[in-house]
Structure 1
């Protein structure tokens, strides 16, 4: 992967003013990181090949660029960040749609549109529970260290259950999550067995 387009430590370093001095209370707000999701097209199916899209990377972006998304963290998602970090394979998760999802016209051509990005396992789970397309890429080690510092400041097991935005998501192991992502990809694929194939 092009190192110039990957997230560097500078891009997601925890701002100094979020680190409390003495008995000061840590700030809950951390500036959003502008990122973009990059997708790649793959042809599958041999002679009757179809195009499938997959998430290839989450990269730093210009704040004003049209495809920029804010990567934000929130105190009330601390449980989801903890679950992500403790999964054994911390990830950046992206909610995305195809043009046909937006227009309702089956088979409409065009590149995927990234809708939102999160580091919270819970938030990604809620998206999937709602039938959204969700894919992931590995979280850079330095970002995991940064997120771990945030979790250390704000995650309190004794506070559970916390009030969440939206319905509570069911948590699953990393391998189950990956399998669910793959099932969703196949379900939305226009190939044999997918909803768009006419064989469902």
Structure 2
């Protein structure tokens, strides 16, 4: 394992029975819990009823990266900081004929979640517990440097461009009569007399 700070977690995925002929089951994230050695290394069914199943997926390392500290800061700035879990459906059904929703990655970074969502992946979230938020806050406090605010140039100092980005100019001289159409003719011009 690397020298980066990390914690080991396990993911519990929930499979809920729906009364729906098009989609009889729906998968969602149940919770993220601290990993324990007794969990082993392979997924296992924790509990099952006619209405739902809970599956445990052990052994995820959640590392903190200094170059993603802004993503952690954004998570901590949210009303409820959370875990983000990226998951995918198995391509083939298991021995029982059902496909598992298998977690792929676990993160505390808004940036990771955004990348996964941009790639149209499945991402669910659950609140992170207090000790995890404190651990993450200590890392952010040590490494986060807000970008200095850049002074915006007033709009009046921006160069004028047309809709294609080419330089444009504005004439301050007023023209009268509009040059060719509509309106009454000026005095001395060819009106009916």
Aligned to 1:35: 9
Aligned to 2:110: 121
Q: Quick one: higher RCO (CA 8 Å, sep 6+), 1 or 2?
A: 1
The alpha-carbon deviation at position 110 of structure 1 amounts to 2.1
1:10-69 deviation line (CA, Å, top 9, x unaligned): xxxxxxxxxxxxxxxxxx821x21211101111223577610011001112246623411
2:64 maps to 1:90: no
**Bigger helix share:** 1
d(CA) in 2 for partners of 1:126, 1:80: 11
RMSD of aligned Cα (Å): 2.5
Superposition misfits of 4+ residues, deviation over 2 angstroms: 45-49
1:61 aligns with one of 11, 29, 35: 35
- Please say which structure displays the higher CA radius of gyration: 2
Structure 1's unaligned 5+ residue stretches are 1-27, 161-200
2:18 maps to 1:44: yes
8 Å contact kept, 1:35–1:71? yes
8 Å contact kept, 2:82–2:128? yes
Aligned to 2:174: none
The alpha-carbon deviation at position 98 of structure 1 amounts to 0.7
d(CA) in 1 for partners of 2:68, 2:21: 46
Tell me the TM-score normalised to structure 2 length: 0.59
Aligned to 1:74: 65
d(CA) in 1 for partners of 2:83, 2:77: 14
8 Å contact kept, 1:93–1:118? yes
Aligned to 1:109: 98
Tell me the TM-score normalised to structure 1 length: 0.57
Aligned to 1:138: 127
